[in-house]
Structure 1
């Protein structure tokens, strides 16, 4: 391929080892997905025009990064799930204890009162209460990564200086 054609058309993505495609079959049919480790989700009509040494470096680093994140996608999920179930169980018990000997009823279509199944009511109600509680108790922090690093560095310096403070201040 001469250099002018290569500049106009780029390299052939179908032959590039940094391009990937996958096929999944389910009850709705077959789905194809494709991408490029170098360009990411912007894989499209315009091929990249990197020369091979740069392609190798960028492609290798990004492929390793994606492989690592894919391998560690569910790290800590078991512990989180157990903690979540323990919180739900504790909230359910607290709600059940707060009801004491009260009966929860609902009005049927014939305007008669029917006793509600307490277990199913508590299962549904526990999720609603926990959802509202978690949002109020632990609001999402919208700090930027820069702000988090700034706070971490300041905290580290304060701890480091705190070691020598008794010797410096008399």
Structure 2
């Protein structure tokens, strides 16, 4: 289930369940509140109220500081699903290698096929495209890629594969 709140999407299917608690609202109805964290690290609470024949859901974005306050306040009333997600996040570490961004405009049918292939391989689209690109350039997994790629292979390198062969080889893995 997902909702857009203040222009941001909160999706319970892609977020991780962190904790839950129950309370009574101002109308003396039982409410179940579940705390989630998105893959991007944003927290939100889904309040579920049984309103007769159907459930009502209210999505509430919540800050990291508010999560910490809630954990301190609720104590034993809070059922924690994943302790690691409640603890403070690790400090940022410097990346060993800089990333780069490429914006790619694709025809819709190709985009849909790529998304399907990535899902079938159990990978994100980004990871799938990286593996395909590495295969086309003859780069083995785990090797450092060189900025100046050439069509000729050096000693110990595999020659680059044509794109169709790369996709076929990737599907076999």
TM-score, scaled to structure 1: 0.20
TM-score, scaled to structure 2: 0.19
Higher helix fraction: Structure 1 or Structure 2? 1
Structure exhibiting the larger radius of gyration computed from Cα positions: 1
